[in-house]
């Protein structure tokens, strides 16, 4: 299928087409990603082209990274600090390689790569003491953030040979953080400028440069990029509200909020330019899907009635429209997979945490305290599931869809 021209998407976003009624869109079947047990928490964070998933799940009070499949089975990946260490899977590529962040025996977090069942330490920037990996593409290039010898947090890319490439700072800037990578190795994220304001950036072989903001706005964060160069994230508008956007560097367009919402964040964009994320409401958040044809739609409205789920965060979407995220079932935070009714892949059906399925328990793990700096999507999810933080100073994000930020999902 031919990809939509980015300019068309931007123009449509500016015009903000009328909202499409949920009944005119394909309904979704939901699969609980486990592990089994109604009192076990889990978070769905990234998805690749074949529907393999990365995230984190709780066992005995500790969050640890997992790799899962579209059928609901998950495998715990452990941590670099042993059974009691915390970890989170933040990205996954087409080969099923998971990257993320883990506790480490130094007491500082470390970026990891898990190929198969083994978690490997990726190290740090020269002179640095901590790192996190947030996304990986099919070529094995990894985006992440770490500190360097002077203590500043700086975005990096790890090439296919395992070498760290520091992406640098904006002119006069104080720090930078990576949140996504596409199949071309282009990295996006946020960088503080000389005044300490967060600015969305893109690093595409021409150095790190400002990616723009919304008209009349100030701060911005880029969370994901696809292979066509379409970026999503969130930025302040002229009223000071934090609003999800889509566009190319220098031409960003607001996506709005769900009815009753006051802010929104775009977390993933796939090859078709479809965006998923969250819209904050009074008392929580709701997961959304945005398309140029239909505008922003509450994903809860596309579920069958009485599933018992409340979808709070849609973290990633692949080219087939499979969506991974985090919601609540019976009041417990659970990772979910949404499958469009017209999806041609394997049948998933609607499941709930008590069905058991193929998911086994995930031992121990990491969570919001794994990274001393507020850099990872784990923190976004935790905040969204509580009161949904709206501070651009805590910009972090993940993942794009196919060819986008994170794996070439």
Percent above pLDDT 90 for the chain: 67
Mean pLDDT of 227-236: 97
Q: What's the distance, CA 285 to chain centroid? A: 15
Average pLDDT, integer, range 114-135: 94
217-239: average pLDDT: 96
Whether omega before 129 lies within 30 degrees of 0, making that bond cis, reads no
Whether pTM exceeds 0.95: no
Least Cα distance to 27 among 316, 308, 289, 329 occurs for: 289
pLDDT at position 381? 41
* Choice between 353 and 309, residue whose per-residue pLDDT is larger: 309
Q: Which long-range contacts (CB under 8 A, 24 or more apart) does 118-126 make?
A: 119/65, 119/77, 119/78, 119/79, 119/80, 119/87, 121/80, 122/158, 122/162, 123/164, 124/164, 125/149, 125/154, 125/156, 125/164, 125/166, 126/164
Calpha distance 171→211 (Å, rounded):
14
Q: Residues 268, 299: contact at Cβ < 8 Å?
A: no
Q: How far apart are the first and last CA of the chain?
A: 16
Beta-sheet strands, E only, within 159-306: 164-166, 175-181, 187-192, 198-203, 208-212, 220-225, 231-236, 242-248, 251-256, 261-269, 275-281, 284-291, 295-298
Q: For the chain, what is the largest distance between any 2 Cα atoms, rounded to a whole number of angstroms?
A: 55
Check whether 311 has a pLDDT greater than 50.
yes
Question: Nearest to residue 36, comparing CAs of 90, 1, 8, 72?
Answer: 72
pLDDT at residue 351 is higher than 50: no
Contact 401, 226 (CB under 8 A): yes
Question: Comparing 13-22, 143-152, 263-272, 336-345, which segment has the lowest mean pLDDT?
Answer: 13-22
pLDDT, residue 397, reads 32
What is the model's pLDDT at position 38? 59
What pLDDT does 25 receive? Answer: 67
Q: What is the pLDDT of residue 26?
A: 77
Architecture of domain 28-394: 7 Propeller (2.130)
The two structure tokens encoding residue 61: 């009070």
Mean pLDDT calculated for residue range 131-140: 98
Mean pLDDT value across residues 23-43: 79
Residue-wise pLDDT tens digits, 323-341: 999 999 988 999 999 999 8
382-396 per-residue burial string, b: 16 or more CB within 10 A, e: under 16: bbbbeebbbebebbb
Which pLDDT band, with edges at 50, 70 and 90, does 40 fall under? confident
Residue 300 CA, distance from chain mean position: 19
What's the residue count for the chain? 409
Best CA proximity match to 113, nearest among 149, 148, 160:
160
pLDDT in the model for residue 278: 98
CB 145 within 8 Å of CB 101: no
Check: CB of residue 271 under 8 Å from CB of residue 317.
no
């Amino acid at each position: 299928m031919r990809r939509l021209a980015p300019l068309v998407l931007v123009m449509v976003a500016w015009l903000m087409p009328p909202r499409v009624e949920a009944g005119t869109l394909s309904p979704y079947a939901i699969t609980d990603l486990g592990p089994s047990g109604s009192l076990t928490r889990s978070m769905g964070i990234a998805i690749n082209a074949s529907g393999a998933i990365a995230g984190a799940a709780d066992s005995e009070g500790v969050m640890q990274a997992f790799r899962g499949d579209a059928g609901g089975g998950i495998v715990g990946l452990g941590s670099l600090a042993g059974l009691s260490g915390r970890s989170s899977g933040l990205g996954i590529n087409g080969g099923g390689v998971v990257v993320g962040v883990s506790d480490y025996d130094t007491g500082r977090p470390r970026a990891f790569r898990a190929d198969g069942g083994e978690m490997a330490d990726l190290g740090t920037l020269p002179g640095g003491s901590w790192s996190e990996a947030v996304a990986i593409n099919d070529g094995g290039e990894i985006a992440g953030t770490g500190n360097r010898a002077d203590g500043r947090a700086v975005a990096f890319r790890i090439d296919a040979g395992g070498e760290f490439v520091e992406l640098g700072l904006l002119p006069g800037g104080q720090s930078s953080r990576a949140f996504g990578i596409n199949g071309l190795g282009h990295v996006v994220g946020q960088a503080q400028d000389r005044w300490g304001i967060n600015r969305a950036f893109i690093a595409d072989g021409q150095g790190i440069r400002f990616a723009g903001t919304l008209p009349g706005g100030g701060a911005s964060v880029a969370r994901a990029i696809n292979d066509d160069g379409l970026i999503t994230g969130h930025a302040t508008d002229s009223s000071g509200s934090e609003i999800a956007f889509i566009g190319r560097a220098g031409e960003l367009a607001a996506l709005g909020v769900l009815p009753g919402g006051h802010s929104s964040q775009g977390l993933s964009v796939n090859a078709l330019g479809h965006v998923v994320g969250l819209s904050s409401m009074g008392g929580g958040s709701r997961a959304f899907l945005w398309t140029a044809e239909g505008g922003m739609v509450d994903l809860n409205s596309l579920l069958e009635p009485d599933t018992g789920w409340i979808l709070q965060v849609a973290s990633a979407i692949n080219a087939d429209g499979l969506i991974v995220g985090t919601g609540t079932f019976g009041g417990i935070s659970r990772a979910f997979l949404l499958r469009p009714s017209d999806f041609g892949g394997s049948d998933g059906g609607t499941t709930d945490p008590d069905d058991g399925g193929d998911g086994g328990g995930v031992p121990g793990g990491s969570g919001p305290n794994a990274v001393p700096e507020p850099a990872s999507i784990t923190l976004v999810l935790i905040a969204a599931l509580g009161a949904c933080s709206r501070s651009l100073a805590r910009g972090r994000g993940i993942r794009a869809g196919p060819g986008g930020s994170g794996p070439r999902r």
